[in-house]
Structure 1
Amino acid sequence: MIRTSAALAIAVVLTGCASIVNDTTQPVKLETRTAEGGMVEGADCKLGNDYGVVSAKSGDTVQVRRSGKDLDITCRHPSNPDAVGRAISRANAGLAGNILIGGGIGAIIDHSKGTAYTYPTWVQLVFGKTLVFDRSAEKDGQPVPGTEPTANTK
């Protein structure tokens, strides 16, 4: 009983601090498609949040800075209208663990560093559309489905 309780406590503590568990950056696989569904590689893309903007080519996986703010994405290609997306930032398990175990101090640190948040890991923007990507719909091995913006996600 004591060993089980100790093992459980250690597991919870190790997952409790997002700064220890998560880096300040995370990878995002970025793809672009035509309105008809064809894949377009090599479009010029910009991904930005309150920590800055990074440039990438569609078809690549890019490291982005974690933040509590959403990630705005715009991809441009000479043969297509712009593809625009917003990747929703969601609190990860590290933040919840901090609140439960460490109280407010760890949560404040992780929030300010951005390590308490995660974006979708694979998005497919569509030229001529504006889409929202929410990692709560993420499934392993598949891109997060993009949805049309609503009043809550604009």
Structure 2
Amino acid sequence: MNRLWKHGMVVACVASITACASITGGRYQKVDVHSQTSSGVPITGAACALTNDYGTVNVQTPGTAKVHRSSTPLSVNCTKNGSTIAQQVYPASIRGMVWGNILFGGLIGIVIDFSNGAAHHYSKQLQVLGTDAGGVASAATLPGSPVAAAQAVDTKPAADAQPDANAPQPHEAQIATAMEPGGPASLDPRVGQSMFNAAQNVAAIQQCDRFIKVLEVDGQHAVFFTQCDGRPQKLHIECNGAECVPLLPPQS
């Protein structure tokens, strides 16, 4: 009888440990994924891959995906007809209810939540932004999009058009535009991927637009800016390599 009682206590303890791990809502969460150009034009039918250290989940925009929670950022890469049209990185946040788990599950519950990703979560709404610069993610240039307005179409016969040998190639024009002050950081060749991701993360934490633009770049030092909903002033972000911090807007 005593032995049976001990077995019952073990089962009860195991059940309580499992339960405390589920207090925060589990290891998975649903996220709504939408893609659009920087000017706000929706991009539908894009195939987006959502990746973190637990793997990759695919979804077509607009759509809902079920991802494994993690402490690492969620990288979103969207393509359409074989071409990349938008990329975004979303940081993970610690869920507020995790600390309440101490009352129910104690230290064991906290350890379980942090070890399986349940302690973290991503933004429920993922708005993946492309860029209009160079037409990379512009709705007017995406495959399957409506043709430009009639007044924007050059009706001059092709035979009359004389190529300018000194004119910059399309990709050169895109890079030149990106390297001007106010150009999109995603197209600036001077901005490394790690710096770009870090700056985007700062914008996300500050609840500002992740479509960051270049103010200046000098080697491993750069300053970016972006808009913030409901705020009249822009957010400035200073980066030294992959270390980025928000700055107060300059005094006018």
TM-score where L is the length of structure 1 = 0.70
Q: Check if 1:21 corresponds to 2:85.
A: no
Do the aligned partners of residues 18 and 119 (structure 1) sit closer, same or farther apart at CA in structure 2, a change above 3 Å counting? farther
Do the aligned partners of residues 102 and 18 (structure 1) sit closer, same or farther apart at CA in structure 2, a change above 3 Å counting? closer
Runs of 5+ unmatched residues, structure 2: 1-19, 132-185, 187-195, 213-223, 225-236, 238-242, 246-252
| Higher share in strand | 1
Aligned-partner SS, 2:23: helix
Runs of 5+ unmatched residues, structure 1: 1-16, 138-143
TM-score where L is the length of structure 2 = 0.45
Aligned-partner SS, 2:110: helix
Q: How many residues align structurally?
A: 131
Aligned-partner SS, 1:105: helix
Q: Could you tell me which residue of structure 1 aligns to residue 95 of structure 2? A: 92
Calculate percent identity across the aligned residue pairs. Answer: 30
Which of 1 and 2 has higher RCO (CA within 8 Å, sep 6+)? 1
Q: Check if 1:43 corresponds to 2:46.
A: yes
Do the aligned partners of residues 29 and 135 (structure 1) sit closer, same or farther apart at CA in structure 2, a change above 3 Å counting? farther
2:75 is aligned, of 69, 72, 92, to 72
1:34 is aligned, of 32, 37, 41, to 37
Q: Check if 1:82 corresponds to 2:146.
A: no
CA RMSD of aligned residues (A): 2.9
Alpha-carbon distance in 1 for matches of 2:29, 2:205:
13
Alpha-carbon distance in 2 for matches of 1:147, 1:108:
36
Residue pair 1:28, 1:61 contacting (<8 A) in 2 also: yes
Alpha-carbon distance in 2 for matches of 1:96, 1:19:
13
Instruction: Give the drift of 1:94.
Output: 2.6
Do the aligned partners of residues 53 and 109 (structure 1) sit closer, same or farther apart at CA in structure 2, a change above 3 Å counting? same
Alpha-carbon distance in 2 for matches of 1:97, 1:146:
31
Q: Could you tell me which residue of structure 2 aligns to residue 6 of structure 1? A: none
Residue pair 2:21, 2:112 contacting (<8 A) in 1 also: no
Q: Could you tell me which residue of structure 1 aligns to residue 210 of structure 2? A: 146
Do the aligned partners of residues 152 and 101 (structure 1) sit closer, same or farther apart at CA in structure 2, a change above 3 Å counting? farther
Instruction: Give the drift of 1:95.
Output: 1.9
Match for 1:107: what amino acid? I
Residue pair 1:124, 1:146 contacting (<8 A) in 2 also: no
Instruction: Give the drift of 1:103.
Output: 3.9
Residue pair 1:30, 1:62 contacting (<8 A) in 2 also: yes
